[in-house]
Amino acid sequence: MPRDPKKKPLTVDQKRYTEMVRDLVPRPPYLKNALLAYLFGGLIAVAGQFFTDFYRLALKVSEKEAGNPAVATMIFVGALLTGLGVFDKIARYAGAGLSVPVTGFANSIVSAALEFKREGLVFGIGSKMFMLAGSVITFGVVTAFFVGLIYALFVL
């Protein structure tokens, strides 16, 4: 019989204790966190819109085409702030507001690259860079495949 620790039932003592812990340890301030995330996420969206408009006017391209350099700029800013050691301090307060947009993706890659730089180019940066972002890429590709499949079957 496979013994999966995830399915192992708790003993009476364990159950009683985990309930005691649950009652004692406060939940994170969800409302405050959500409001801060909303505020910071909104600010990032405003910055993104600013760069989109800027590139649209400066490069005289369509709004859709201006999106690419705007995203690249946001990634650059996220990476730069990570390198300067500021990103994690802001993210303490901003939470998901900073990590869900593309700035968070940049942070996850750059922070890992910085951290493992000392283990060398190949075994450090090369292999550890995507340790956090790897699952975003994996499941992004898988989702894209299925969405593409549905599109091909039903829309075309």
Partner 1 sequence: MGAKRAGKQTYKPDSPPVIIGAAAVVGPFEGQGPLKDYFDHAYTDIMAGERTFEAAEREMLLNACFTCLNNTNKTAKDMDFFLAGDLLNQTITSGFSALELSIPYFGIYGACATSAEGLALAAMLVDGGFASFVLTGTSSHNASAERQYRYPTEYGFSRKPHMQWTVTGAGAAIVARDGEGPRITAVTVGKVCDLGIKDPLNLGAAMAPAAADTMVRHFADTGRGPDYYDLILTGDLGKFGHTLAIKTAVSKGGFDLSKNCRDCGLMIYDTETQDVHAGGSGCAASAVVAYGYLYKKLMRGELRRILLVATGALHSPVSCFQGNSIPAIAHAVSIEMI
Q: Which amino acid is at 61?
A: V
State the DSSP string of 120-155: -IIIIIIHHTTTTTHHHHHHHHHHHHHHHHHIIIII
* Residue 61 lies near partner 1 (rule: CB under 8 A): no
Q: Find the binder of partner 1 among 61, 100, 115, 136 (CB under 8 A).
A: 115
> CA angle, corner 56, sides to 61 and 45, nearest 5?
135
State the DSSP string of 48-103: HHHHHHHHHHHTT--HHHHHHHHHHHHHHHHHHHHHTT-HHHHHHHHTHHHHSSHH
Q: Find the binder of partner 1 among 1, 2, 21, 141 (CB under 8 A).
A: 21
* Residue 87 lies near partner 1 (rule: CB under 8 A): yes
* Residue 118 lies near partner 1 (rule: CB under 8 A): yes
Q: Find the binder of partner 1 among 35, 63, 68, 92 (CB under 8 A).
A: 92
Could you tell me the smallest distance in angstroms from the CB atom of residue 89 to partner 1? 8
Could you tell me the smallest distance in angstroms from the CB atom of residue 3 to partner 1? 11
CA gap 42, 18 in Å, rounded: 38
In the complex with partner 1, the residue whose CB is nearer, 43 or 58, is: 43
| Residue of 107, 112, 49 whose CA lies nearest to 80 | 107
Residues that bind partner 1 (CB under 8 A): 4-6, 10-11, 13-15, 17-18, 20-21, 24-26, 28-29, 33, 82-83, 85, 87-96, 98-99, 104, 107-108, 110-112, 114-116, 118, 132
